[in-house]
Structure 1
Amino acid sequence: MSFQPESAFALLGADFADAVDPAGFPEPKLRWWNDRWAQTVGLGDLTQAEKRTHFAGFAPLQGYPHRPLSMRYHGHQFRHYNPQIGDGRGFLFAQFRDPAGRLLDFGTKGSGQTPWSRTGDGRLTLKGAVREILAAEMLEALGVYTSKAFCVFETGDQLHRHDEPSPARGAVLTRLQHSHVRFGTFQRHAYEQAEDRLNVLLDHVADAYYPGISPLTGAEKSRAFLDTVTGASARLAAQWMAAGFVHGVLNTDNLNVTGESFDYGPWRFLPTYKPGFTAAYFDETGLYAYARQPEAVFWALQQLAVSLLPIGEQDALVDVLNTFPERYTAEMTRAWCRRLGVVEQPESEAMVRAFIAFLHASQLPFEAAIFDHFCGDLSRIADAPRDYSGAEYDAFRQLFSAHAPDRPERLAYAYFERPDPVHMTIDVMEAAWAPVHEKDDWTALNTLFSEIAQARSGYDLGRDRLGFLPEETD
């Protein structure tokens, strides 16, 4: 596989993005390189010097002719509309094709100021970059459709932040994902009453990501687009819930048209099942708490639908939105069956509800309970060092026992010889980061990366060998 550059978003022109220059970094040092994904996209043979040139200096990759682009968008931030935002500390670095011919993006975080930085310095701390790696790696292992942390360079900068001990070490992250076109990208052009640009953007998204709707025109195309994004977003919300993940900032500029999880700031994973658990210290009302994430995604879809009104038909768009609850319920059942390693059947929705009720009542460790029950009655339940009893458990177990294991050969993986699963609660993340902060010792963090990789191999939830789209949506 050779690197296959592709111009798509750049050709939309200056109404959609601003060409920018990356910041200069005094002492770039490679701290993370995703070998698995570098090989997949044709960049596995880069030398150390080439990695630094392209992913710290951001010199154009071979065959890609465009400068970095700071993408333009608006968004609702905690449900308040903000027309002053856009890529403030990142840019679209390059686009290219994967081995299946799908369009992918390299996007950055911490690459310097742009026209949309406002009062920010456009930089990222090293701890922030490490948190991005851990979130993306863990979510991929748990079967969530997520962006990938492609590489991280420590920059040699010293940054000042109010929420980290300062001065903090600087870093720049390159993220790999299918699309950086956000709900807020459509919102911007609707806000500016630019119907022509809305049509151009819709045509681009259809051609790039959903070719099945490309031949459609007018209001029917808008309806089909919203229908597709609604399905993808319902799937994403369900996958977050089954992973016990709390994104933290589900603003409309942090949800994209491919239904892909990305941009990991104040994320958390549940230690135990707590519906009101929040990730961001500034989420004082719990707007984006764990159990409110489906609601937040649905609300964001409604804002996307509003932005399509200039080129759509209201009743048709509303009809699409009304499908979200049913689609989300179906995706929840599917996501939980995959996490529990059992074959979905008509009683699966009831089984999932019973399992959630048990998790809530027992307050057993969230990830451990899933780990112990993986692959149904062939799993390690009997040998697990946890107490599985009580009325809620009995109700779940009766339904669960009727489910056939899915690919039980996975239980032979070394991962299932562990007494406990790898998990990514805040104490685990902080314990791995502390030696890096205190003495630049990466041993614990690298061990954690290896454990996550073992979990990814054990659960083997990425049916699509390219690791992006679940099998059922290919």
Structure 2
Amino acid sequence: MPYKPQAEPAGSNYKPDVRITQLGEKIGDPALPASFPDHILRFRNDRWDKSVGLDRLNEEDWLSHFGQFEPLADNLSQPLALRYHGHQFRNYNPEIGDGRGFLFAQLRDHEKRLMDLGTKGSGTTPWSRSGDGKLTLKGAVREILATEMLEALGVNTSKTFSVVETGEELERGDEPSPTRSAVMTRLSHSHIRFGTFQRIAYEKNEELMHKLVIYCLEHYYGGVQSDYPATELFAKIAREVAKLAGAYMTAGFVHGVLNTDNINITGESFDYGPWRFTPYWEPGFTAAYFDHEGLYCFGRQPEALHWNLAQLASALRLVAESDPLVETLEAFPKAYGTAFTEHFCWRLGVKSEGFEEDRNLIVAAEKGLAEKKTQIDQFFFDWGKSGNFVNPEDNSSEFSTFRDLIGQRTASRVPLSDYWTGPSPCSMHIEEVEAIWSAIANNDDWERLSNKINDIRGMGAALRNG
């Protein structure tokens, strides 16, 4: 089935729907939000606030809920710091959990999906260990840019919902300090992580594991449809993670920290730290300065997500047989390949013709991109804007095979948007990220960020609609 991006969010009424408490007290611990010296609204997602019926909040009420974290009506009376374990760079850590964030609310969106409002930088929790539980303003700005860009490029991602500057100065060893602080709220289709299952397996709690499996199927996958719910859930999660892997690659995105505690059960990308977009098709490109072995480099991300699925399968062995879990794991490479080729064709603006035909086209594109003479975003922009895929200015030899193959394809969109007539593609490389932050840090100039968000959303509309 050809790839289709998520549609533009529509308006909805506020529909609180707290379900997490069905899992009992062992899923999380009550947490108290920090008291901040200041509350300055820096970002409010005016696309997704309407999708959950919160667009009617005035600024004062918004700050009371997303700066001071006063409970939303008929929602969680106290936030929950969720419990989980995780493999961090493939080393198992049983001492982690929500250390600087919590689940603040649950509600339904315009598509009736169960959504979470979770925080980052809201203060210490029972799982903070030696951390201060705070977030730098730069980290919040970077997450805005990551989520906006990924959403525009058709990647299933959490949405940065709110950023409030909090008036504190934070010390950080890996960046200039002291630095400004913020608290962020993200909108996600589940905060249940692979590491949530790993913790329950570690504790050998079969009852809670079964309860969690049913919870995930009922609230994220349309209900239980077989006599083997754990294997059913695993197959559905693997399908969505394969799509995520394919979308990361097409976007040229490097998450940087694909630990099992950073992967959720709906295949939605979230929790952005040292992310980067690679300018060129460079498999060894890394995002995290501390990823010395390139474990999570650009080209190894599908492998990393596959490995993480194997750890989830291991946890589910508590309530499931091995054979069907292994069967799903063995099918992952093909599922990833299909997802990647379909997403690649979508970004190019051509109709998918099946895995084998698509693969030939994409192998030719990868060979040309590997020469590093053309940046990834420029490549998609040049070919996506033509509509009939005749590009007389591109006579480069590295794309000769690709040019022959794409000339036989049918366009899937008519490039009518003004985006396609612009001089250059919308990109998000590290130099621009730093320039946007520099304007804020040095001059408190937020216009550059606002303009970039508008440009990104314009690209997203062009990719969705032509």
TM-score band, normalised by shorter chain:
over 0.9
Partner of 1:61: 72
The equivalent position to 2:212 in structure 1, one of 176, 201, 205, is 201
- What is aligned with 1:138? 149
Contact 1:251/1:300, CA 8 A, preserved across alignment:
yes
> Structure 2 matches for 1:92-111, cutoff 5 A?
92-111=103-122
Q: Which of 160, 172, 178 does residue 161 from structure 1 map onto? A: 172
Distance in 1 (alpha carbons) for counterparts of 2:126 and 2:26:
13
Who is 2:402 aligned against?
A: 396
Task: Report how far residue 308 of structure 1 moved.
Answer: 0.5
Show the 5 A alignment for 1:115-130: 115-130=126-141
Corresponding position of 2:9: none
Match runs of 1:245-394 below 5 Å: 245-346=253-354, 347-374=357-384, 377-378=387-388, 381-382=391-392, 387-390=394-397, 392-394=398-400
What is the rounded CA distance, in whole Å, between the counterparts of 1:164 and 1:388 in structure 2? 44
Deviation at 1:66, TM superposition (A): 2.9
Q: Is the 8 Å Cα contact of residues 165 and 183 (structure 2) preserved in structure 1?
A: yes
Classify 1:79/1:222 alpha carbon distance in 2 versus 1 (closer, same or farther; 3 Å).
Answer: same
Whether 1:413 aligns to 2:456 is no
What is the one-letter code of the residue matched to 2:230? S
- How many Å separate the matches in 1 of 2:164 and 2:128? 21
User: 8 Å contact 1:10–1:69 — kept in the other structure?
Assistant: no
Work out the CA distance in 1 between the residues paired with 2:389 and 2:406.
12
Mapped partners of 2:196, 2:77: distance in 1: 20
Shifted more, 347-356 versus 72-81: the winner is 347-356
Give CA deviations for 1:234-267 in whole Å, capped at 9, x if unaligned.
0000000000000000000001100001111000
The amino acid of 2:429's aligned partner reads T
Answer whether contact 1:10 1:66 (CA < 8 A) is retained: no
Return the offset for 1:341: 0.8
Structure 1 position 215, deviation (Å)? 4.4
Give the match's secondary structure for 1:107.
strand
Check the 8 A contact 1:340/1:376 in 2, yes or no: no
CA 343–215 in structure 1, closer or farther in 2 if over 3 Å, else same: closer
Question: How far has the Cα of 1:195 moved from its partner?
Answer: 0.9
Corresponding residue of 1:422: 426
Query: What TM-score, normalized to structure 2?
Result: 0.95
**2-structure distance, mates of 1:340, 1:396:** 12
Tell whether the 8 Å contact from 1:375 to 1:406 is kept in structure 2 after alignment.
no
Does structure 1 conserve the Cα–Cα contact (< 8 Å) formed by 2:389 and 2:407?
no
Give me the CA root mean square deviation: 1.4
Q: Note if contact 1:375-1:405 (Cα within 8 Å) is conserved in structure 2.
A: no
Q: How far apart are residue 376 of structure 1 and its match? A: 5.9
- Structure 1 moving runs of 4+ over 2 Å: 375-383
Deviation at 1:435, TM superposition (A): 1.1
Shift in Å, 1:100: 2.0
Offset at 1:315? 1.2
Q: 1:460 aligns with which of 457, 460, 464?
A: 464
Distance 1:147 1:380, change over 3 A: farther
Q: Distance in 2 between matches of 1:380 and 1:270?
A: 26
% identity of equivalent residues? 48
Amino acid at match of 1:368: Q
1:277·1:289 contact (CA, 8 Å) conserved in 2?
yes
After TM superposition, the score normalised by the length of structure 1 is 0.93
The number of residues matched between the two structures is 453
1:166-181 alignment to 2 at 5 Å? Answer: 166-181=177-192
Distance, in Å, in 2 between the alignment partners of 1:175 and 1:181 is 14
The residue identity in structure 2 corresponding to 1:433 is: W
Give the deviation of 1:367 after TM superposition. 0.5
Report the Cα distance in structure 2 between the residues aligned to 1:215 and 1:272, rounded to whole angstroms. 43
Equivalent AA in structure 2 for residue 90 of structure 1: G
**In 2, distance between residues paired with 1:259 and 1:314?**
22
Post-superposition offset of 1:222: 1.2
